[in-house]
Structure 1
Amino acid sequence: MVPLPTPQQLRYLLALAEHMHFGRAAEACAVTQSTLSAGILALERQLDARILDRDAGKRVVFTTLGRELVGRARAAMSALAAVVETADAARAPMAGPLRLGVIPTVGPFLLPRMMPALRAAFPRLRLFLREDTTERLLERLRGGSLDVALLALPCACAGSDTLAVVRDDFVAALPAGHALAALPVVPAAALASERLLLLEDGHCLRDQALDACGFARGEMPGDATDDFAATSLHTLVQMVAGGLGVTLLPRLAVEAGIAEGADIALRELSGAGAWRTLGLAWRPNTPRAAEYRALAPVLARAGAAVARAQEVPGG
C-alpha cells in the first residue's frame, strides 16, 4: 500500500503555495526553514513526483503537477477539518475554538463592539482572530486554517457559503474647505470628477469605492493614480487632510473615531452602491454551518450600534 501524505506535509505544501517563500512559509508553520524544505522534499520522494521546479533558482515555482497537488491538498485538509468540526459540533455547539478571519477595513472598528457581544452570547466559545485581505482569508478558509471569515460582500467567494449580516454605509471624506463640503449630502457620482484616493490593490474596499462612484471594476478615475494608493484607512484620512484628494470611508470606521483630530470634512453619501454589505463566509457542507449562522444576529446587533449612532459630523 502506498503511504499517504501526512497532514503536516500538506500544511507545509499549502503554506509554501500561499507565501511563495520558504522562510515565510516556515514561519507560518512555526518550524525552521530546513524542516519545511525537508518536508517538501520528503513529500516529493514519497509521491515520486516533482512538485517544485528546481531549475528556477531561488524562486519558488510549482510544476504543473505541483499546482494540481496544491488544489488536492486544500481539499484534503478541508475534509480533515470537517472530521474535527463534526465532533466539535456534536459535543458542544458554540463552544471551544473558533478561528475567525476578518478584513482590515472591518476588524479594528467592529471588533470592539463584536467581542463583548460574542462573549455574552456564547460564553464557552474561544475565539482566535486572523486579519488579512479577502483573497488571503479565502485561501486560508479553503485550506482549513480558518473556520469562518467576516468579509465585505459580494466577493470572489466561489466555493464558499455566504450570509449577509449588516449594511455599512460609506461616508465622503473631503479636504477642509472643499467645494463639496458645502453640501449636507454628497452624491457619489460627484466624486467621479475628483481625485479619488484608494487603498492599494488587494483591498476589497478599493473596488467598492470605484463601484460606488460609477467606475467599472478595475477602471481608474482619470485623475487618480496608484502613486497615491494607501495601505490603510488611517493613511487615507491623512492623505485627505493633506489635500491630496477625496475618499470614501466606511461608517464603522468613522464611528470608531478614525477621523478624530484630522482636518477633514465628513459628509453623508447618496446614490446606488453608497454602502457595502458585511457578511460571513465558510466552507460548504461543513457540519458547523448552523453555528456560523448563529453568529449572524450577534454581529448584526453589534453593527446596529453604528446605525443608531449620531449623524456624521461636519468639518
Structure 2
Amino acid sequence: MPVSSLPSFSQLRAFVALCDHQHFGVAAGALGVSQPSLSQAITALEKRVGGELVERTTRRVLITSLGETLLPYAREAVLAAEAFTEAVASQGAALSGTLRLGLIPTLAPYLAPIILDGLERELPRLHPELREMMTDDALDTLNRGRLDAAVIVIDVNLRRTAVVPMYDEPLVLLIPADHPWAGREDVDPAELDDQKLLMLDEGNCLRDQTLALCQRYGVNPPIAVATTLATVVGMVTHGAGATVIPEGALRLLESAGAFAVARFAEPGAVRRIGLVHRTSSSRGEDFTRLAEVVTNLARDADLPMRPLSESVDLDVGAGRRTRRGRS
C-alpha cells in the first residue's frame, strides 16, 4: 500500500524509542511524553505505512518484520533531524555544551581523570559526561544517538562510524614477581605459547588483542578468567599466570600486590586508540579537534603512547615487522 503522506518527526522518534526500549511506559518516559501520546503516534505511523510495526503484549513490545525493515530508515531520519538541531544550536559555539563521551573499561580508569581535569582547562565551555562501556555497547549506543562520541580501540569493526585515529598505546606483559621473565625487554610473542596466559571474557577488545598475539595456540592456549582487568591482575599477583595489559594501566597497580613487567621485542605490541562518532553528525571538525586535545592531554600526563607517524606493526603470524604510518 502506498504511503499517503510523509510521517512526522514525532511519529518516527516515537517508533525508534519504542523499538529501543521495547516497552511503552519506558519509551514514553525517555521521550518525556505520556504513554497515550506515544501509542497514538505509533498507531498513526502504522496507518501511514499500511501495516503493523510492533506487536503489543502485556509485558513487552515485539517488533514485526515490517518494523525491522523500516527501523533503520526511521533511525537515520531521527538522527539527521537531531544533527540539524545540533548544528543550529552550535553555530559559532564549537566544542561547547554537553558532550556524552564513551570510554572502554580498559582505558577509562586512567584516561577519564585526565579528560575531566584537562578539558575543564582546555575547553571550558564543554561539559563532558563520561560513560564507561564495552566497545560493542559503545558503538550500539552511539548509533542509536545516545552517545555523541567514544574513545575506543579502533582495530575492530566500527559499524559505519567516522573514525579519528589518535595514538598507539603499547601493550606489556604483567607477570608474577618471581617470574623468570621479570624485566625482560625482548619477549617474542611466540614464547607466549609456553605460558599460562589469562585474559578477559568475550566482548572486551583487550581479549581480541591478546588472542592476536597468540595466534598459534600452543600447548597452553589463553584462558578467559574474568570480566574486569582488576580481577585478572589480582590473579597474576597471586601466581595464577600472566596477562597482557595496556602499559598505561601500570600506573593504577601500585597497591595491586607483587608483580613484574616484561615487554615485547621491538617494534613491540600496540593497540590503536581513536575517537569515533556518527557519520551523520554535523560536528566532524569539532570531534577531530577534541581527539587532538585528548591526545595532547594524554601525552602531557605521560601516558605511554606512540605517535601514529612513529608506530610499527608486528605481524605475529608471518614474523614480519613493518612500519605503521598515519591512518
Bucket of the pairwise TM-score, normalised by the shorter protein: 0.7 to 0.9
Does residue 294 (structure 1) correspond to residue 285 (structure 2)? The answer is: no
Does residue 4 (structure 1) correspond to residue 3 (structure 2)? The answer is: no
The residue type paired with residue 70 of structure 1 is L
Q: 1:270 is matched with which residue?
A: 265
Q: Is the 8 A contact 2:184 2:263 kept in 1?
A: no
Within-5 A mapping of 1:184-199: 184-199=185-200
Q: 1:73 is matched with which residue?
A: 74
Provide, for residues 135-182 of structure 1, a one-character-per-residue CA deviation record: whole Å limited to 9, x for no partner. 111112112221111110112113111011122111101123223326
Question: Residues 301 and 5 (structure 1 numbering): CA distance in 2 closer, same or farther, change over 3 Å?
Answer: closer
Q: 1:107 is matched with which residue?
A: 108
Does residue 116 (structure 1) correspond to residue 117 (structure 2)? The answer is: yes
Does residue 50 (structure 1) correspond to residue 43 (structure 2)? The answer is: no
For structure 2, which runs of at least 5 residues remain unmatched after alignment? 306-327
Once the two structures are overlaid, the 10-residue window that deviates more, 144-153 or 189-198, is 189-198
Which of residues 304, 312, 319 is equivalent to 1:307? 304
Question: Residues 2 and 303 (structure 1 numbering): CA distance in 2 closer, same or farther, change over 3 Å?
Answer: closer
Q: How many percent identity over aligned positions?
A: 29
The residue type paired with residue 224 of structure 1 is P
What do you get for the CA RMSD once the two structures are aligned? 3.3
Q: Is the 8 A contact 2:46 2:53 kept in 1?
A: no
Within-5 A mapping of 1:115-134: 115-134=116-135
Which of residues 221, 233, 243 is equivalent to 1:223? 221
For structure 1, which runs of at least 5 residues remain unmatched after alignment? 309-315
**Alpha-carbon separation, structure 2, partners of 1:147 and 1:11:** 17
The residue type paired with residue 18 of structure 2 is L
Provide, for residues 59-109 of structure 1, a one-character-per-residue CA deviation record: whole Å limited to 9, x for no partner. 765332222233223212211221122113314111111111111111111
**Alpha-carbon separation, structure 2, partners of 1:25 and 1:195:** 46
Q: 1:176 is matched with which residue?
A: 177
1:116: Cα distance to partner? 2.0
**Alpha-carbon separation, structure 2, partners of 1:188 and 1:131:** 30
The residue type paired with residue 188 of structure 2 is P
**Alpha-carbon separation, structure 1, partners of 2:208 and 2:102:** 20
Q: Secondary structure at the match of 1:197?
A: strand
Q: Is the 8 A contact 1:212 1:272 kept in 2?
A: no
Q: Is the 8 A contact 1:75 1:143 kept in 2?
A: no
Q: Is the 8 A contact 2:24 2:38 kept in 1?
A: no
Q: Secondary structure at the match of 2:141?
A: helix
Which structure has more strand as a fraction of its residues? 2
The residue type paired with residue 241 of structure 1 is T
The residue type paired with residue 230 of structure 2 is H
Question: Residues 70 and 270 (structure 1 numbering): CA distance in 2 closer, same or farther, change over 3 Å?
Answer: farther
Q: 1:137 is matched with which residue?
A: 138
Question: Residues 306 and 197 (structure 1 numbering): CA distance in 2 closer, same or farther, change over 3 Å?
Answer: same
1:111: Cα distance to partner? 1.4
**Alpha-carbon separation, structure 2, partners of 1:67 and 1:221:** 45
Q: 1:29 is matched with which residue?
A: 30
**Alpha-carbon separation, structure 2, partners of 1:23 and 1:263:** 52
**Alpha-carbon separation, structure 2, partners of 1:206 and 1:97:** 32
Q: 1:153 is matched with which residue?
A: 154
**Alpha-carbon separation, structure 1, partners of 2:282 and 2:121:** 24
Q: 2:243 is matched with which residue?
A: 247
Provide, for residues 9-48 of structure 1, a one-character-per-residue CA deviation record: whole Å limited to 9, x for no partner. 14523423xxxx649966993889x949x94686256415
Q: Which has the larger radius of gyration?
A: 2
Q: Is the 8 A contact 2:233 2:256 kept in 1?
A: no
Q: Secondary structure at the match of 1:198?
A: strand
Question: Residues 158 and 12 (structure 1 numbering): CA distance in 2 closer, same or farther, change over 3 Å?
Answer: closer
Q: 1:260 is matched with which residue?
A: 255
